[in-house]
Amino acid sequence: MTGLEELKTKILGALPELDVVIGWEQGYDALNATPLFIRKPEDVERLIIGPLCAHNLATYLPGLKDKKVGIVVKGCDSRAVIELLQEKLINKDNITIFGLKCDGVVNLNKIRKKIGDLGQIRKVVFDSGIITITAGETDHQLKFSEVRMDKCDTCKYPNALLFDHFIGTPDDRQNGIEPEHISDAEFEKMSLEDRFAFWKQEMSRCVRCYACRNACPMCVCRDHCVAVTRDPHWISQENDTADNWMFQMIHVMHLTGRCVECGECERACPMDIPLMLLRRQMNKGVRDVFEYEAGIDPQGKPPLLTFKVEEDNIPEREW
């Protein structure tokens, strides 16, 4: 991500027409970024971009549906915007998109696993694929490729796919892309029994905090989420494995053909439950059956909202 000054200029230019522009600023320390809501020109100074800006800001858009909103997006974030537009959950007329080219964002959990919890971080520097983290007087150096988010390993869309302003020059990077996620290979080797036990164990850890749901840009139901209502009453509020499992099934089924794999659910999960594994596997089915990827074409139609009389990839039922 480059072009911070260019971005600032463009935001300043657009701000008079907008109620708010959403970007990122530094959080409580140098390693943590946090969403920034720019309302006044002086707010723009706090704006940052870079590998720490992991948040998918599109999550805020449906809640600001009737406001004039500017939003800064990475490639993956832009897919969420496109998907929301496709589903008419937001109105393009109200949105100004500042598109970035992204070189990957960090996964703080991975950093924490490598260097432990260091307390207050003073400084973070990214240079030539190395991230240098300064806590106290000590420098810690890590390879960026080892601490970036899983989704960045296989990123096909580094550039914002939809934008009103593009910052910098688009990246034509298409190399190093694995068709399937690397970490899924191991899962796919597991037997059905092992998978069932795996999820049972993972779901037993779920605390049903709904962070995964709240972070998800596609979970637009918010207060009306069927996981917490009595009518309909899908699951009890008891925090047990079976109901946790069912909650996660509701989340993944409601994302069928809609999930843009931004990874916010997994990033938000305080229990490190591999939620993206479920979503990637579901998306694989969507790709196989409908040759469809969510959030690519604003004119596209989510596969479950349409049909073909003769489906290309669904075999006739044998009995």
The CB-of-226 to another protein minimum distance in angstroms stands at: 5
Place of tokens 């794999």: 261
Contact indicator for 251, 212 with CB cutoff of 8 Å = yes
The one segment of 8-16, 41-49, 160-168, 301-309 that binds another protein by CB under 8 A: 301-309
How far is the C-alpha of 185 from the C-alpha of 190, rounded, in Å?
Answer: 9
Looking at beta carbons only, is 182 or 304 nearer to another protein?
304
Closest CA to 75 of 47, 93, 53: 53
Q: Interface mask (CB under 8 A) for another protein, residues 204-223, using x and -?
A: xx--------------xx--
| DSSP reduced 3-state for 26 | strand
Q: Which residues pair with 159 in a beta bridge?
A: 101
How far is the C-alpha of 276 from the C-alpha of 266, rounded, in Å?
Answer: 6
For 2, 46, 158, the CA distances from 60, given in Å and listed in that order, are: 23, 19, 21
Residue from 44, 115, 226, 296 binding another protein (CB under 8 A): 226
Looking at beta carbons only, is 145 or 236 nearer to another protein?
236
Q: Under the criterion CB under 8 A, does residue 63 sit at the interface with another protein? A: no
Q: Would you state the structure tokens that stand for residue 225, as one six-digit string?
A: 């989420």
Residue from 4, 64, 121, 282 binding another protein (CB under 8 A): 282
Q: Interface mask (CB under 8 A) for another protein, residues 154-193, using x and -?
A: --------------------------------------xx
Residue from 12, 125, 178, 196 binding another protein (CB under 8 A): 196
How far is the C-alpha of 266 from the C-alpha of 268, rounded, in Å?
Answer: 5
Q: Under the criterion CB under 8 A, does residue 200 sit at the interface with another protein? A: yes
Start-to-end C-alpha separation, the chain: 54
Residue from 281, 297, 298, 300 binding another protein (CB under 8 A): 281
Helical (H) or strand (E) element with 114: helix 108-115
Looking at beta carbons only, is 49 or 225 nearer to another protein?
225
Contact indicator for 51, 15 with CB cutoff of 8 Å = no
Residue from 46, 195, 239, 291 binding another protein (CB under 8 A): 195
The CB-of-5 to another protein minimum distance in angstroms stands at: 36
Q: Under the criterion CB under 8 A, does residue 229 sit at the interface with another protein? A: yes
CB-facing half-sphere around the CA of 229: CA atoms within 13 A: 9
DSSP 8-class letter at 217:
T
- Tell me the torsion sign for CA atoms 294, 11, 69, 96: negative
Q: Would you state the structure tokens that stand for residue 100, as one six-digit string?
A: 């970035």
Q: Alpha-carbon Rg of the chain, whole angstroms? A: 20
Q: Under the criterion CB under 8 A, does residue 115 sit at the interface with another protein? A: no
Contact indicator for 280, 261 with CB cutoff of 8 Å = yes
Contact indicator for 130, 148 with CB cutoff of 8 Å = no
Q: Under the criterion CB under 8 A, does residue 135 sit at the interface with another protein? A: no
Looking at beta carbons only, is 26 or 109 nearer to another protein?
109
Residue from 97, 167, 269, 276 binding another protein (CB under 8 A): 269
Q: Under the criterion CB under 8 A, does residue 307 sit at the interface with another protein? A: yes
Q: How many residues bind another protein (CB under 8 A)?
A: 66
Looking at beta carbons only, is 17 or 310 nearer to another protein?
310
Residue from 42, 93, 231, 312 binding another protein (CB under 8 A): 231
How far is the C-alpha of 92 from the C-alpha of 85, rounded, in Å?
Answer: 7
Task: Provide the binding-site residues for another protein, judged by CB under 8 A.
Answer: 87-89, 109, 117, 192-201, 203-205, 220-221, 224-226, 229, 231-234, 236, 238, 240-243, 245-246, 249-250, 252-254, 256-257, 269-272, 277-278, 281-282, 285-286, 288-290, 303-305, 307-309, 311, 314, 317, 319
